[in-house]
Amino acid sequence: MSEPQKMQRLSVEEYLTLEENDDYKHEYVNGSIFAMTGASRKHATISLNIASFLRNSLRGSGCDVFISDMKVYAKAANSFYYPDVVIECNNALKHDQYSDSPTIIFEVLSKSTVTTDRREKLVAYQKIDSLQSYVLVHQSRKLVFHFERAGEEWVMQEISGIGELILKCSPDGKPTVRIETDVIYDNVQVDDGPDLQVLEEAEALVW
């Protein structure tokens, strides 16, 4: 989650130097920087559930799993973001400060970031050649949106309630990992009933 910070436009090199030396994290969008804000307990728990499960599932596969602190460079959008969870399976292109070859990205949605996550970041991430999946995870109910690369196109699958997310970490589908919604939402209080506020939040996510 991020908020705009008034500052002169920075080059990529200046931004990376700032991030290396500053005590606070910032996202970078075409020269402008945005200070990151803290996450809720639900947000943090969901992110940790996803990252822990994927790390165990992909152990020995050659894929790395990062949570929160690894930036992703979306070169076509001249932007750096801090996704909630990132999988990278191309070790040859690794950088110390960021990933420019992620294969899967997760963002846990919140009221302050939902518009950015489903519009700006969706467009930017889909231009990353290595990316196979972009996954948006709702906080308040078991609701997941999975955008998956299918050749030159992207297809979206909505998973709600008890379901399973199937993720392909490369164009040839290897390795493939499966994660159930019960794992994603473990130890998280959700409301799958007809609560008006929750329904309004869910409807706001429909394209």
User: pLDDT tier at 93 (50, 70, 90 boundaries)?
Assistant: low
Which tokens go with 49?
Answer: 């559930």
Q: Are 62 and 174 in contact (CB under 8 A)?
A: no
pLDDT in tens, 164-189: 999 998 888 788 999 999 999 999 99
Sole residue written with tokens 């990132």? 86
The Cα–Cα gap between 39 and 76 comes to 28
pLDDT at position 205, please?
52
Which tokens go with 25?
Answer: 């994290």
Q: Is the confidence at residue 122, as pLDDT, over 90?
A: yes
Mean pLDDT within 115-138: 93
pLDDT at position 113, please?
79
pLDDT in tens, 54-72: 999 999 998 999 998 899 9
Share of residues in the chain with pLDDT > 70 (%): 87
Mean pLDDT within 89-103: 82
pLDDT at position 98, please?
93
Mean pLDDT within 92-97: 73
pLDDT at position 99, please?
93
User: pLDDT tier at 191 (50, 70, 90 boundaries)?
Assistant: confident
The Cα–Cα gap between 94 and 11 comes to 21
Q: What angle do CA 74, 173, 159 make, to 5 degrees?
A: 75
Average pLDDT, the chain: 87
Q: Is the confidence at residue 3, as pLDDT, over 80?
A: no
pLDDT at position 91, please?
67
State the Rg of the chain over Cα. 17
Q: Are 103 and 132 in contact (CB under 8 A)?
A: yes
- Residue 144 pairs in a beta bridge with 137, 159
Q: Judging by DSSP bridges, how do beta strands 143-150 and 133-137 pair with one another?
A: antiparallel
